Structure 1
């Protein structure tokens, strides 16, 4: 059988819709070989600029979160006192919110990740934060950024639901040879955990990995439809804020002429998960709950639905999953230093009630992967995410339905 050439093998990731546009491949191989750019559909995708060799593509397959997903290291898994088949290893489940009113107000929920990043800088634990902010060129997009001050961190607060390449500068960040923290999506942290096997600097320099519990991001075409359906000329959009300034607060679109349109979170995303517009890769994500993070922060709305009447005035509260000893120590230190307020412990039932879609996705993922495999698609390798054990807990009918549905979508 003829051997697949490196470029074809690389582009198989794109063909099979496994790319999340994180930018890691450009960071690792350099812009002379790979450049992240807008694809025809508007989303961020790698473009091959020159010849790739086998070593290049092996590196991509070993680190890409589309082909490989790994959580915290085995030693951290073993040291965690609690384990749950869905929620994974953890030390504590608690409620918390930013102590500073401005940080809590500007943040996506309770401002916890922003507050933690500010504490890390002010305490001298890290030299900078690698995270994302709103793009200056494409208002609906996010842009990778490095913050060295608490004001820069606050200026970047708020969710980024549009296409974003948060790891596009990861190699440059490691090259600084300074301790830093990363705030990024769970799949981005999966990629960094993968890279740790290839680059010893990851574990030496990245002191903390923080993430929101993630339901996926909005493809660029879906954003275009939303704007068009609401009579908004995309070329005239000067700024876009997805949420924050309330919990979840409004989706705010500002125009070049100074006018502003506010939409409720539920009108933007839809009333339930069935309305969400997501990339295919998000629908087969094995880790929306941040198993690669030291700390993951989640929304706390009952059945994952904010109240229409209070979403603009709710100050916001996060549920916090501390997965590692580092995460527990950081959480306790931030509370003691006055950066976070402690709302007390919660339990697995609370997490299940406030994040029901994460349970559904996690339990169905092995069956969905089976459907991908039947369709001849690439299937992400997973490590330590318990997909087989969850599959065995499902009914045979549920697994068949999930496999068949994914097979049909993958072959459509």
Structure 2
């Protein structure tokens, strides 16, 4: 359970909101019959059933009346089929007054639903999310401790209503077994769920309430803290030391309830959505209200048109300035293009140049060397000795003559 309030808006003092569940058949027809009866009796000025899409599962009813004869109240009830294990239709009722809500005004719930009906017509006061709980009856706590803790924890999460736990100091008589909510003002009567703990459940109920941070006095009552709790919330301020179950007005409990309802509690998201639909999608208007709404629309359209005109003028001025700047830019002669920077040639020859020079030197040297002379193999074979090469010079020739002479001498 959260211990601090969120940043959502607080519940407005002009709002009366409640949520419940109708378990009988055909709740739409029951609401129509109840509204028609109150219109005939003068309790409400008018009611209507706004159009909804054909495939929509919800039904919407609007009604207006004058609380106290002068204060206009607009109310909107939405019916949606329940999902999951819960049966019936969930209903959400929000009523918005022109000034802070007075607890003495009639309960909006009894203007849409029959208050004294029984059977299927009276099955509209079931708790919206917790099975077995009802608004107009005493809800005895379960005998099992864990089941009791689960029920109280689930009930405390419901921000649409106020949960009060009453401990019976002794077994009450028939008068004491009647619900205390019937003694509350109409503005609180159908927003309070009363839980009763038997005399022997005193320890068990306080054990179950330990997780919620509160405790019920013996023979007294305590209000379950809201979730999330507003800043500075003190559960001791909403605890009553003794409650007399003798049919008298529970003054101390009523004072605690008034203080609790007046707290600046955060507006639940579902309640905020319902209030927004009531104010924005309201269709049940008088001629004066329709005229005022059309005047507001004309004023809104005039403001939008003025804003569009101002934006157009600003855009036009900006476009003209841009065109003038572009024309001035075109009239200025273009500067001469800058020559690219000439990089000085490097003094070190590249690898290709070195290779070229090497080939040139090799070619030059090859041209200066004489070609080698081929010996005359045929002449050498005829004389019986190899012919001396021409490059031998005179010494070779003399040697050859001496050899010839020597041969002659020996012969």
Compute the TM-score of the two structures, normalised by the length of structure 1. 0.25
Query: Which has the greater radius of gyration?
Result: 2
Higher relative contact order (CA 8 A, sep 6+): 1
Compute the TM-score of the two structures, normalised by the length of structure 2. 0.25
